[in-house]
Amino acid sequence: MEIKDSKKTGILDFFFLMKQRRNRNSIQSIGILALFLWYSKDHNLQTVNISAFFALINNQKNLLSMKSVRYSFLARVILLFILLPLLSAAQYPEAKTELDKKVLSFLNEQSGQWRDMNVPVTDGRILYDLILDGQYRNALEIGTSTGHSAIWIAWALSKTGGKLITIEIDKKRYVEALANFRKAGLSDYIDARLGDAHDLVPSIEGTYDFVFCDADKWWYKNYFIAMESKMKQGGCFVAHNTNMRSADIREFLAYLEKNPAYATRYERNSRSGLSISCKK
Ligand SMILES: C[S@@+](CC[C@H](N)C(=O)[O-])C[C@H]1O[C@@H](n2cnc3c(N)ncnc32)[C@H](O)[C@@H]1O
């Protein structure tokens, strides 16, 4: 089932579904919709696809199709609460400051509009949590694109007192990323650089406690080698798309796992795969 990010689409789909339906469960379903909207508002589940959700709970033919299972209103409510923790996986942090509100409002507006190989919300949230947990402050991103992951990283850094350097080779995406950083209110936390990371990463100065690598996969190992000595103790080199079955990714992961100076683990909640290698 395709998961889209549009709440509006979900609601329209839902009413279309209601119009088509002739059975007596419509009023019950409207009740569930109200309950779900109330829950999603309070828990910032804006990325949840409501149409997918209602397809799940309403489509008796595809789901729960056993004739013997005549699930009632109560069964639907139970299903709702079983599904909510799964749907909550992509949830946004709670807004506590004016900046949080600005970032969240931008992310909500932009929901479903990230089309330049950007990370999904779930992975953005994982990066955000990693930075807060480790209290990292000196971050580097390789592969900005239009800035989705950078926004999550910079948002976390705004809370730890840190700053992000992010590198992008494509001028159009770089310019769009700059505009996105402004709209999200995070420009002060991001130093965006236009250029080839093959050159910029080896020559970058300073030490880092958080690196997010999301550019050309075949160069991952070289990026890691270039950053190895610039990583602070306890700092982590995080790489995206490590579930890809390419020879380059396999070689990169083998290199990480054999490296005695780093402990590497994998984030299971990321569908694309995230390796997290922290300097001992
Ligand atoms: C997967 S996208 C990054 C997505 C981004 N992290 C996000 O979530 O919004 C990879 C980006 O890396 C950039 N890229 C690829 N090779 C690069 C290089 N050698 N130097 C800098 N950027 C590069 C691409 O232009 C592309 O925009």
pLDDT tens over the chain, length 280 residues: 333 344 444 454 555 555 555 455 556 666 666 666 555 543 444 444 454 455 555 554 444 444 444 556 677 677 766 666 555 445 799 999 999 999 999 999 998 899 999 999 999 999 999 999 999 999 999 999 999 999 999 999 999 999 999 999 999 999 999 999 999 999 999 999 999 999 999 999 999 999 999 999 999 999 999 999 999 999 999 999 999 999 999 999 999 999 999 999 999 999 999 999 999 9
Q: Are 114 and 237 in the same domain?
A: yes
Closest CA relative to residue 160, chosen from 191, 181, 133: 133
Nearest to residue 280, comparing CAs of 208, 232, 222, 227? 232
Q: What is the C-alpha separation between 59 and 166, in angstroms, rounded? A: 44
Closest ligand 1 atom number to CA of residue 146:
9
Domain shared by 67 and 183, yes or no: no
Do 151 and 188 sit in the same domain of this protein?
yes
Residue nearest ligand 1's atom 4 by CA:
118
Alpha carbon of 180 to ligand 1 centroid (Å): 16
CATH of the domain at 131: 3.40.50.150
**The token pair that represents 255 in the structure block:** 């290199």
Residue 1: inside a domain: no
Cα(238)–Cα(75) distance, rounded to whole angstroms? Answer: 42
Residues with CB under 6 A from ligand 1: 117-119, 143-149, 167-170, 173, 196-198, 214-216
What angle in degrees, to the nearest 10, is found between the helix axes of 148-160 and 121-134?
20
- Exposed e or buried b for every residue in 77-96, given b needs 16+ CB within 10 A? eebbeebbeebeebbbbeee
Residue 47 and residue 169 in one domain: no
Number of domains in the chain: 2
Distance 150 CA to ligand 1 centre (A): 11
Of 90, 111, 132, the residue that ends a domain is 90
Asked which of 56, 90, 124 is the last residue of a domain, the reply is 90
Distance CA 206, CA 155 (A): 21
Q: Are 124 and 255 part of one and the same domain? A: yes
For the residues of 73-101, what is the DSSP string, one character each? HHHHHHHHHHHHHHHGGGPPPPP-SHHHH
Distance CA 211, CA 116 (A): 20
My answer on whether 86 and 103 are in the same domain is no
Range of the domain at 72: 7-90
Residue 159 lies in a domain: yes
Q: How many CA atoms lie within 13 A of 164 on its CB side?
A: 33
- Give the model's pLDDT for residue 191: 98
Classify 208 in phi/psi space as left (phi over 0), alpha (psi -120 to 50) or beta: beta
What's the gap in Å between 173 CA and the centre of ligand 1? 9
